[in-house]
């Protein structure tokens, strides 16, 4: 089984001659076939909750490129939605949620969440049945702090000030929200593994902007609780942690959370990561997505640098954050080719 899936084997600790590759947000608007499916549904979340369409867009990037993994098509914000906080997506605005106050936290509905997320498990089953055996299927959720920034602020922001102020002013209500997210995420990830995911990734996209005390309390500790709780339900569950912006805290995040592999953002210096993380521990990353937009020599040089920096350890090639809509498809094809063939 392991021999069959190079990316899963790498997450579990195998060093390969060439790194397996997938691309964060690999299904999406840079693909015309995605835009075509997207135009058939109204709200973006409707696409996430339509197993047939979601399975189709999950598989689209693998038809074009020799990627080693599919990531289930969904969003980190299906969790607040399933907890009963209304989420919508406006074109050009990103996600919009009814901001959550202290009282509303008590009326979230964790007991209903997994039932409401059933379409996502169905999507996983559909993808699994169509995926070639050598491809790894990745499930995911947002990490509690990142999801909480959207739930409290009601939208994305550059500094997450609403959530940071709330956590400092109302520590008890904030802790109650994190507890709900930790418990819901454990059940959600276990159900994804049960439905066919081989690996799960924790997207902590807004781990930047926290001082070391808050990083330990809001990022490391909830991620640790999820990994521990998940492995109680699914022993040895393979987990990739992506604490974007962890910077100097990356080593502590790895050690305390016990994830199998660290997703590195593009601001992470390669030499620093090599020194901060033990050589047995896998890394994933970390090309700047804008290098992929521009392509050519600058991109290729950086790809070779990243591959060389991590050739002595388990390494999955990826971007340091999600691919952006303006990325030319030919650049993605070239990227995958040079990662695989040098
Ligand atoms: O291919 C894949 O990676 C699977 C699908 C996936 C999506 N979102 C689809 C999506 C995944 C793994 C995510 C994760 C996600 N969602 C994150 C963490 C990763 C990251 O980029 O930091 C975050 C922060 C979100 C929340 C979110 N969803 C935002 C802020 C937005 C709007 C901004 C944007 O990129 O448009 C979304 C919408 C979204 N999620 C789209 C897609 C394809 C675009 C919406 C559309 O097609 O109409």
Q: Does 34 score more than 90 pLDDT?
A: yes
Q: Closest ligand 1 atom, CA of 26? A: 1
Q: Which residues line ligand 1 (CB under 6 A)?
A: 24-29, 38, 44, 71, 73-77, 89, 94-95, 140, 156, 203, 205, 321-322
> Which protein residue has the closest C-alpha to ligand 1 atom 35?
94
What is the model's pLDDT at position 2? 54
Q: Report CA(3)–ligand 1 centroid distance (Å).
A: 31
With respect to residue 111, please indicate whether it lies within any of the assigned structural domains: yes
Q: Is residue 161 part of a domain?
A: yes
The residue whose CB lies within 8 Å of the most ligand 1 atoms, and thus the one to mutate among 27, 28, 77, is 28
- Domain of 250? 6-341
Q: Determine the distance separating the centroid of ligand 1 and the alpha carbon of 214, expressed in angstroms.
A: 25
pLDDT more than 90, % of the chain:
95
pLDDT band at 17 (very low <50, low <70, confident <90, very high): very high
CA of 74 to the centre of ligand 1 (A): 8
**Among 326, 342, 322, 222, CA closest to 265:** 322
Please give the average per-residue pLDDT across 67-78, as a whole number.
98
313 in a structural domain: yes
Which pLDDT value is given to residue 1? 52
Q: Which residues, in sequence order, are CB contacts of 236 under 8 Å at separation 6+?
A: none
Task: Place 263 in a pLDDT band, splitting at 50, 70 and 90.
Answer: very high
* Closest residue by CA, ligand 1 atom 11: 75
pLDDT in tens, 104-129: 999 999 999 999 999 999 999 999 99
Number of domains in the chain: 1
Report pLDDT for 91: 84
pLDDT at 42 over 90: no
Residue 99: per-residue pLDDT: 85
Q: How far apart are CA 22 and CA 7, in angstroms?
A: 9
On whether residue 1 sits in a domain, the answer given is: no
Mutation test residue for ligand 1: of 26, 35, 50, 75, the one with most atoms within 8 Å of CB: 75
For tokens 């199998």, the residue is: 260
* DSSP notation for 312-333: TS-EEEEESSPPPTT--HHHHH
The per-residue pLDDT for 286 is 96
What is the predicted pLDDT for the residue at 3?
64
Centre of ligand 1 from the C-alpha of residue 94, in Å: 9
The 10s digit of each residue's pLDDT in 219-259 is 999 999 999 999 999 999 999 999 999 999 999 999 999 99
Instruction: Please name every residue paired with 199 in a beta bridge, in sequence order, or none if there are none.
Output: 138
Cα-based angle 20, 31, 295 (whole degrees, multiple of 5): 60
- Angle formed by the axes of helices 221-233 and 171-194, nearest 10°: 30
**Which residues does residue 235 pair with via DSSP β-bridges, in sequence order?**
none
CATH of the domain at 51: 3.20.20.210
Question: Environment class of residue 306 by beta-carbon count within 10 Å: exposed (0-12), middle (13-18) or buried (19+)?
Answer: buried
CA nearest to 238, candidates 23, 51, 26, 8: 8
């Amino acid at each position: 089984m392991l021999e069959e899936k190079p990316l899963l084997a790498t997450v579990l600790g195998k060093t390969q001659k060439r790194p397996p590759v997938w691309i964060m947000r690999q299904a999406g608007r840079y693909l015309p076939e995605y835009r075509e499916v997207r135009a058939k549904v109204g709200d973006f979340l409707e696409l996430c909750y339509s197993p047939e369409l979601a399975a189709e867009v999950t598989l689209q990037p693998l038809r074009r490129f020799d990627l080693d993994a599919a990531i289930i098509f969904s969003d980190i914000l299906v969790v607040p939605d399933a907890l009963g906080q209304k989420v919508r997506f406006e074109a050009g605005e990103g996600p919009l949620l009814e901001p959550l106050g202290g009282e509303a936290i008590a009326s979230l509905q964790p007991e209903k969440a997994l039932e409401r997320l059933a379409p996502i498990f169905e999507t996983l089953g559909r993808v699994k049945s169509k995926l070639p055996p050598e491809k790894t299927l990745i499930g995911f959720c947002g990490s509690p702090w990142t999801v909480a920034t959207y739930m409290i602020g009601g939208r994305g922001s550059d500094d997450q000030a609403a959530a940071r102020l709330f956590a400092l002013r109302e520590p008890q209500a904030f802790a109650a929200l994190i507890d709900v997210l930790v418990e819901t995420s454990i059940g959600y990830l276990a159900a994804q593994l049960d439905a066919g995911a081989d690996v799960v990734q924790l997207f902590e996209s807004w781990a930047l902007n926290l001082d070391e005390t808050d990083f330990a309390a809001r990022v490391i500790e909830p991620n640790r609780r999820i990994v521990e709780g998940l492995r109680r339900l699914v022993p040895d569950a393979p987990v990739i942690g992506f604490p974007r912006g962890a910077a100097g805290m990356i080593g502590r995040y790895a050690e305390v959370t016990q994830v199998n592999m660290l997703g590195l953002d593009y601001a992470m210096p390669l030499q620093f990561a090599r020194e901060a993380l033990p050589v047995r521990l896998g890394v994933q990353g970390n090309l700047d997505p804008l290098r992929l937009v521009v392509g050519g020599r600058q991109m290729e040089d950086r790809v070779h640098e990243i591959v060389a920096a991590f050739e002595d350890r388990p390494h999955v090639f990826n971007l340091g954050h999600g691919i952006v809509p303006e990325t030319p498809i030919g650049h993605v094809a070239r990227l995958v080719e040079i990662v695989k063939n040098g």
